[in-house]
Homo-oligomer: A and B are copies of this chain.
């Protein structure tokens, strides 16, 4: 499989160039950055392009790739419903081309959310603790909020967490996200970590994800590169690739 990289001089793009070069089953074709002609990718017989660029560039990139029959794996942000709809329109005319756009390529994070949603119905209690470095601006993290919402949705119709708290200091019981308590720890020496705790009579189940390195997206991107061609059309997120049933 012949793989090119868009945004090849960015931090993430450069990491992906290295990763493609290091993968025995992939051949690196071309790294393209702002100002370089996109035609390099087509000229080099590229099968799949990885795009970690910029919201302002990504739509032009996708138009070119789809027109040239090149599959795309996209980590660039900024996809509104309108943009997704535009991509679908372009793809409708090229039924063999596949585009995968994902907000998060860390497989551990995606599996954590999937498992949390599956477990949600079977435990009377659930809380989320997320722990990050102290430079983070938002609390809770976006991932924790999304996880709590997925859990809350899966628990629709179930009674709320049992909780006999009658005397509490402000904040002790965490933030309430759709009925799920979420606690945010900010600690020097941490990177990005999350625990989902489930409890029922006599037992607890904990799903913990630790990300200690900004390269944790690499295995997920490579997984997408290897499988994208088998899924013509538009795919959102890597969860469908994981074949979790």
A197 cross-chain contacts in B, Cβ below 8 A = 131, 185, 187
**A81 interface hit (Cβ, 8 Å):** no
Among the listed B138, B163, B216, B245, which residue makes an inter-chain contact with A165, where contact means beta carbons less than 8 Å apart? B138
Report copies per complex.
4
CB distance from A136 to the nearest CB of B (A): 6
**A83 interface hit (Cβ, 8 Å):** no
CB nearest neighbor in B for A145: B169
Measured in the bound complex, the distance between the Cα atoms of B145 and A80 in whole Å is: 46
**A188 interface hit (Cβ, 8 Å):** yes
Interface pair A187/B112, CB less than 8 Å apart: no
A107 cross-chain contacts in B, Cβ below 8 A = 122-123, 200, 203, 205
Measured in the bound complex, the distance between the Cα atoms of B227 and A126 in whole Å is: 23
**A219 interface hit (Cβ, 8 Å):** yes
Interface pair B212/A202, CB less than 8 Å apart: yes
Interface pair A213/B202, CB less than 8 Å apart: yes
Interface pair B216/A201, CB less than 8 Å apart: yes
**A71 interface hit (Cβ, 8 Å):** no
A169 cross-chain contacts in B, Cβ below 8 A = 139-140, 175-177, 182
Residue among A168, A177, A191 with the highest chain B CB neighbour number at 10 A: A168
Among the listed B115, B171, B199, which residue makes an inter-chain contact with A175, where contact means beta carbons less than 8 Å apart? B171
Measured in the bound complex, the distance between the Cα atoms of B168 and A170 in whole Å is: 14
Q: Check A167/B216 contact, CB under 8 A, given A112-B205, A172-B175.
A: no
CB distance from A177 to the nearest CB of B (A): 7
A203 cross-chain contacts in B, Cβ below 8 A = 106-109, 189, 209-213, 216
Interface pair B188/A123, CB less than 8 Å apart: yes
A172 cross-chain contacts in B, Cβ below 8 A = 139-140, 171, 174-175, 182-184
Given contacts A118-B244, A140-B172, 13 further A-B contacts (CB under 8 A): A106-B203, A108-B198, A122-B242, A125-B187, A127-B185, A127-B186, A135-B162, A137-B165, A140-B169, A169-B177, A172-B175, A189-B210, A191-B212
